[in-house]
Amino acid sequence: MSSEQTVLGGAAVTEEVFPGFKFSVCSYVVSLLRPEIIRDLDLPRHGLEILPLDGTFTPMPKGDYLWRVNDHGKTYREIARHSRLDANTYEDFGKAMPAICRFVKPILGMVPPDPTGLNPKDLSKLLFLARRFQQLPKDDRYNLVQLMTMSAADFLDQWFETDVLKATMSAFQCHRRRGDRSRRRDSQRGRGREDSDEERQRRRRRPH
């Protein structure tokens, strides 16, 4: 295994990204660490201890911050300090995501089927996915397609207006894909300011 990192350790590395602040720079919360892997490798016997995520803290340049905690009321009030609209939308976002999680969870351990082949096992997997997708309510299908095909920034632009909340929520997509937002911005510059303003308004519409 090779790595571009100058410090060995992968997800276990802690670095001082900003003076006085140390971060686990490569680590991601272990929600994608499958239970069967933990069981098969007997990881608890080797010292694995999973600590629940109690909240997130996002500092801002001028001393302000956004602090989400495992308390719905406190988190709502904290987000409302920055945007009442985002606080209300945050609740809708929280209701929309579990349906997507339920759709994705069974396929995390699945070997991706080859859509170009004629292998019966691959065809059955494709049929399984198609049926599950068809059974989703219309809004859930829309959210799932958007989540899987857009960059984190563009997806969150459709939901929230404050940068601090979008920065906080982008963490859940960072492991998935980066997207091509820079190219979209370049194309918007070519269309002029009027089109760019219209595009921003379209992205901020809530997907209901």
pLDDT tens-digit map of 35-94: 888 899 998 998 888 877 788 899 998 899 999 998 999 999 999 999 999 999 999 998
Query: Apex CA 198: angle with CA 193 and CA 199, to 5°?
Result: 95
Q: Is residue 204's pLDDT more than 50?
A: no
Q: How sure is the predictor about 190, in pLDDT bands with cuts at 50, 70 and 90?
A: very low
The number of angstroms, rounded, from the C-alpha of 31 to the middle of its chain's C-alpha atoms is 12
Instruction: Look at residue 40 in the predicted model and tell me its pLDDT.
Output: 93
pLDDT tens-digit map of 123-167: 898 899 999 999 999 999 999 999 888 888 899 999 999 999 999
